[in-house]
Chain A
Amino acid sequence: MAYSKKVVDKFENTLNNPKAFNVGSFDPSELNIGTGMVGAPACGDVMKLQIKCEPQGNTHVITDVKFKTYGCGSAIASSSELVEMLMGKTLEEAKEIKNKEIVDALELPPIKIHCSVLAEDSIKEAIENYESKQ
């Protein structure tokens, strides 16, 4: 397989230790939770990303993240990588995250770049959802 060791390790660690890698769900109806779900089963990947935020000064900070991903190994690794990047970030900082950072961190092969795009979409949507509730 053309995957880097980083993708394989990320995937395996997430699979073998889901709690430590923030696999799970928050109640999406809570006001301090933002949920983003992107992709489609027919396309082979669906990512659900949830952020828990709290107000801090004149912004909001991500205090916890949960995710679930259906997809190929690199889709799962991309979600997991994104989750790590999000911890403790303000929403403004989180909005700045680009898929390229995930590509670089995991050394994704060109054919799997869409996985990182999907991950970027999932955080955008989660933030949008959170902000709509405030």
Chain B
Amino acid sequence: MNTQSTIYLDYASTTPVDPRVASKMMEFLTPDGEFGNPASRSHRYGWKADEAVEEARSHVANLVNCDPREIVWTSGATEADNLAIKGVARFYKSKGNHIITSKIEHKAVLDPCRQLEREGFEVTYLDPDEGGIISPEAIKSAMRDTTILVSIMHIHNELGTLNDLEAIGNITRKAGVFFHVDAAQSTGKVDIDLSSLPVDLMSFSAHKTYGPKGIGALFVRRKPRVRIEALIHGGGHERGMRAGTLPTHQIVGMGEAFKIAKEQMKEDHEKIKAFHTKFLKEAMKIEHAYINGDVDNKVPNILNISFNFVEGESLIMGLKDIAVSSGSACTSASLEPSYVLRALGRKDELAHSSIRFSFGRFTNEEDIDKTLSILHNVVERLRELSPLWEMHLDGVDLDTVQWNTH
């Protein structure tokens, strides 16, 4: 099937590379381009590549208002999360062994935490409220004398909900505890001002913001200083925090993408906000559709909806001309429904029936209209196929049914 005929509404999963970014990246690959190793100090190939890397670093720093020296290149947000969490924990283990995070963090945060538990650290996994927000009070009450790190995401990847970084950071600062934020979904969506935010470490990804896959960055604050133990050794690049030859073209791509994000954030936001308003209004005309995540405290580019009495994977198969993702168990290898929706207290069947629509820079009005029309049609057809819908129409309360699970 030609993917171009499929409407792409999965921007929270990844974005296409902006053509302006791709053409910039091309300048750093071929023999007639600046292909040098940025670490080569002895010739102009190296100097030129180094110049490009540092310019890109400035673009990234500029978007989030920090010092370029606070940006460490990584292979992506997953590595940045690993570097922040394991790096802080291992460096400061003599100070304490307790970490606070939440049950609905991305696996790139949860799995390093699990690894640290195996190494003797203790981790508290906080419950979100029913809207998917982590309350600063919950963090405050989970603090111990041995707490060294709090890791809470900014924008939630499945829900689009926003945590209050300032309120959480004020608590961690007071307690003398480091605060790491996974901001993979945030860049180009909301303003981030690290000159005033009480955040110590922040993870970024290029490919959620129209840059290439395989490159990300970790912000590591200089004042007050945060120290981390490196994960990768071999040459002392990136001030000893991350060894390995810098991938100039990837870095330049991320820099260009973040530069464009800064220039275009307002324009992107306004367009996407209008799509969100329309989509929400029309999709909610479907009976028994429920928004997952606090709709008053979220970004407009992500919209997560459960359509009761319809299973998510079959809905995705029905929406075959639309690229979206699901919290349904059946789309995952584990057959478990979304751990995120379960943590919000959603019933399993609603967790099974969730679809995440995410809009982006290249979404147009026609995509939205076409998707809405297909969505209405497919939900109706699947409900015609659904014994649960039939029971519901017959007035049966599904919660009182004795299911024959075998």
Interface residues of A (CB under 8 A from B): 1, 8, 11-12, 14-16, 18, 23, 25, 37-48, 68-76, 111, 117-118, 121, 125
Stretch in contact with the other chain, from B5-13, B237-245, B384-392: B384-392
List the A residue with the shortest CB-CB distance to B311.
Answer: A71
Q: Does B186 contact A (CB under 8 A)?
A: no
Collect the chain B residues with CB atoms within 8 Å of residue A45's CB.
311
Q: Mark B371-398, 1 if CB is under 8 A from A, else 0.
A: 0000000100110111111100000001
Q: Kindly state the separation between the CA atoms of A10 and B227 in the bound complex, as whole angstroms.
A: 57
B347 touches A76 (CB 8 A): no
Q: Given that A72-B314, A73-B314, A76-B314 are contacting pairs, would A41 and B385 also be in contact in the complex, using a CB cutoff of 8 Å?
A: no
What is the CA–CA distance of A131 and B262 in the complex, to the nearest angstrom? 71
Among residues 310 to 334 in chain B, which have CB atoms less than 8 Å away from a CB atom of chain A?
Answer: 310-311, 313-314, 317-318, 320, 328-330, 333
Bound complex: CA of A118 vs CA of B398, how far in Å? 19
Chain A proximity mask over B172-204: 1 for CB below 8 Å, otherwise 0: 000000000000000000000000000000000
Docked-complex contact B381 and A111, CB < 8 angstroms: no
Chain B interface (Cβ < 8 Å from any Cβ of A): 309-311, 313-314, 317-318, 320, 328-330, 333, 335, 337, 347-349, 352, 378, 381-382, 384-390, 398, 403-406
Q: Which residues of chain B come closer than 8 Å to A16, judged between CB atoms?
A: 381
Assess whether A38 is in contact with B406, with CB atoms less than 8 Å apart: yes
- A8–B403 CA distance with the chains assembled, in angstroms: 28
Residues of B within 8 A of A23 (CB): 384-385
- Which chain A residues lie closer than 8 Å to B390 at the CB level? 25, 48, 68
Whether the pair B385, A72 counts as a contact (CB closer than 8 A) is no
B342 → chain A closest CB, angstroms? 11
Q: Inside 8 A of B378's CB, which chain A residues have their CB?
A: 15
Residue from the list B318, B335, B386 in contact with A69, Cβ < 8 A: B386
Chain B residues lying within 8 Å of A75, measured Cβ to Cβ, are 311, 314
CB-defined contacts of B333 to chain A, threshold 8 Å: 111
11 A-B pairs (CB sep. < 8 Å):
A8-B317, A11-B314, A11-B317, A15-B318, A39-B404, A42-B347, A42-B348, A44-B352, A68-B386, A72-B328, A111-B333
- The residue among B330, B347, B348 with the most chain A CB atoms within 10 A of its own CB is B330
Q: Which residues of B contact A11 (CB under 8 A)?
A: 314, 317
- A45 to B389, alpha carbons, bound, how many Å? 13
**Structural contact, A46 and B403, CB atoms closer than 8 A:** yes
Question: Known: A68-B390, A111-B333. Is A40-B385 also a contact (CB below 8 A)?
Answer: no
Contact B317 A125 (CB under 8 A): no
Inter-chain CA distance A41–B399, complex, in Å, is: 10
Known: A42-B349, A44-B328. A70 touches B311 (CB 8 A): yes
